[in-house]
Structure 1
Amino acid sequence: MRRRATVAALCLAAALAGCGAPAGTDGDLVNGWSALPAASYSPPAVGACLKGAAGAFEPSAAPLQAGDCAEPHAVEVVGGGPVPDAAAPPAWDSDASRAAYVECDKAATAYLGGDWRTGRLFPVFRMPAAAVWQAGGRHYLCGIAEAADDLFAPLDRTGSVKGGMSGEARDKPLALTCVQLSGGDISGKGFYGTVDGVKPVDCGAPHDTEFVGAWTAPAGDYPSQQRLKELAGDACYLKIAQFLGISQTALYQRGDIYTFWTGLTANQWALGDRTAHCFLNVSTKTPLRASIRDLGTKKLP
């Protein structure tokens, strides 16, 4: 209490003695400072290249940084658009996010010159992060990444993917053709019980699996895993038969070609994408070294 009274007395004494602001000043310490600029955000332009970790259908992924397309990068911007103003960014499974993703789908196809789903590619979709939203960012981002050693992990590439899905049939530079699986629990017949990796490879290299087409599931609530297996298994089996140029009965009678599919995750479905990648699969004991399109009933090469 005595300390507080002493300080007050000193202040009063200084005032009585005529204490004031130094000559040439007005006593206002902040009125000469320029105002800080307002927070702002400029979305990357179409064709820009971005660096950073990216994966397919990740609701909350790390931010991507601008990079030089001549240097290794993971993602290329193919489109984007405005997001309606709100108190917070749209949720992953919201109508706004699904509507934006539809536009990204169209933008990717136009940019690549063909359906990205039939390429060794995957989409990178970003709504503004919370910090960007607070800075005024109201722009969603559409990107495309090329697959590396796994169909859903990005390759750090140089150059542009633009036009990479244009061309005739499987001559498209970025077309998905043959893949090599990796996994465990291999059966006596040489088939994986569990698959850990799906690596795109040239069809001239040894491989056990070949892409036969994409299939889109009917709209509705996300099915159980068992129902997904039934739906995708049946649809992909038909695509395999068509790829080989035989009936489903003839495919069943072969007994040496099986069905494998990827996709249809819960995050993917929530965004409105219900696409599965369909593959034919042969035993690891009989690896292929060429495409078997239109093989018919002939023996595996």
Structure 2
Amino acid sequence: MRIAWGLAVCAALLGIAACDPAASPEPAPTSTTTGRVTVPPNMYGADPPKPGQCLDTSNAIVVDCGEPHDAEVVSTGKLTATSMPDEATAATLTMPPCREKLAEYLGGQDMDATNLVAMPLWPNEQQWAKGERWLLCTVAEVGADEKPLHRTGSLEGALLSNDIYRFQTCSVSSPSREARVRRGPCDGPHLGEALPGVISLGKPGSPMPSTEAMNKTAAEKCPALVAKYINGDNKEISAAWRLPNAESWARGYTNLVCYVEASRPVRVRLRNLGPITLPS
């Protein structure tokens, strides 16, 4: 299984409705490999888990969601590929439908502003050779190392309320200047906070807009989201955003994510901060 999220970045001072695309670095695609799960023969194929059930993937077992687990089943399906795909191809095939199901399961489209990610599971080579074609779409909460955390409780409907802030992505790296968002705790030193109100740039399978067009959309919309989030203007805070690159677009990441970015690290959330000086 593989999670991918490659990004181009750009930023603007709060209130400035323009950004120079040439100043935006074009990073190499970022991906996280969580490791192939070894499962007993037909364990998932013959008796697949049901949506809402939770998994301990290291032991390939279904567990009660009140017990520690690292994945929660969102939907089940079948792979239609005629030959065993490599991981990159399989991710491109499975991530878009799994992300669609995940948005429905979580109850909203703002998952890309959180640490909740789609994690498809599919057969390994030995299982494929035995005719297994199962697909499990699962959701995982990832930590600073981008690996799934062991957690308790169900994530169904997690984006329907202010619970979204329990899972909000906070970045210890600069969202506007660094190629990769490095997650960190929101109550620890961080520079950026991803904002609810993720902006759709198209549907999976549609042509990817130009970087210039995506930046134009971001420059028009992100400053307003930042002002609403912090409840006013603040000279020490800027609007930033993250854009999909070609690889992530092909995998269904067809959104841009706005960020609020502080001029120096803070240990508290910037939500409703207003015009006051950044806390030390």
Query: Please, what TM-score do these two structures have when normalized by structure 2?
Result: 0.62
Q: 1:264 to 1:244 in 2, by over 3 A?
A: closer
Instruction: Show the counterpart of 2:98.
Output: 104
For 1:209, the equivalent position in structure 2 comes to: 192
- Secondary structure class of the residue paired with 2:73: strand
2: CA distance between counterparts of 1:194 and 1:89?
A: 29
**Helix, strand or coil at the partner of 2:263:** coil
- % same residue: 25
Change (3 A) 1:171 1:153: same
Three-state SS of the structure 2 residue aligned to 1:283 is strand
Aligned match of 1:154: 148
Matched, 1:280 2:271: no
SS of aligned partner of 2:135: strand
**Secondary structure at the residue paired with 1:240?**
helix
How far did 1:234 drift?
Answer: 4.2
Q: Structure 1, residues 77-134: CA drift from partner, whole Å, max 9, x if none?
A: 110212336243587548x954x54442332223222233343311112343322222
Are the counterparts in 1 of residues 171 and 181 from structure 2 also a CA contact under 8 Å? no
**How many residues are matched?**
225
Amino acid of the structure 1 residue aligned with 2:52:
G
Aligned to 2:138: 143
1:62-141 paired onto structure 2 within 5 Å: 65-68=60-63, 69-84=65-80, 86-89=82-85, 92-93=88-89, 98=93, 101-115=95-109, 116-141=111-136
Structure with bigger gyration radius: 1
What is the match of residue 47 of structure 1?
52
Partner of 2:268: 289
For 1:105, the aligned partner's letter is R
Deviations 1:203-262 (A, max 9, x none): xx65432222423345436x8xxx64x55554444333112448xxx98xx763334444
Taking structure 1 as the reference length, what is the TM-score of the superposition?
0.59
Q: Note closer, same or farther for the CA distance 1:145–1:274 as it changes in structure 2 (3 Å cut).
A: same
Amino acid at match of 2:198: A
Q: Given residue 114 of structure 1, which amino acid in structure 2 is its aligned partner?
A: G
Q: Please state how far the C-alpha of 1:146 moved relative to its aligned partner.
A: 1.0
Match of 1:197 among 166, 182, 188: 182
Secondary structure of the 1:208 match is strand
Which runs of no fewer than 5 residues in structure 2 stay unpaired?
Answer: 1-40
Q: Which runs of 5+ in 1 are unaligned?
A: 1-38, 54-63, 184-190
Q: What SS does the corresponding residue of 2:264 show, helix, strand or coil?
A: coil
What is the distance in 1 between the residues matched to 2:132 and 2:124? 9
Taking the aligned partners of 2:251 and 2:185, their CA distance within structure 1 comes to: 25
Say if 2:92 and 2:250, in contact at 8 Å, map to a contact too: no
Deviations 1:6-43, CA, capped at 9 Å, x for gaps: xxxxxxxxxxxxxxxxxxxxxxxxxxxxxxxxx74333
Q: How far apart are 1:142 and its partner, in Å?
A: 0.6
Secondary structure of the structure 1 residue equivalent to 2:152: coil
SS at the partner of 1:201? coil
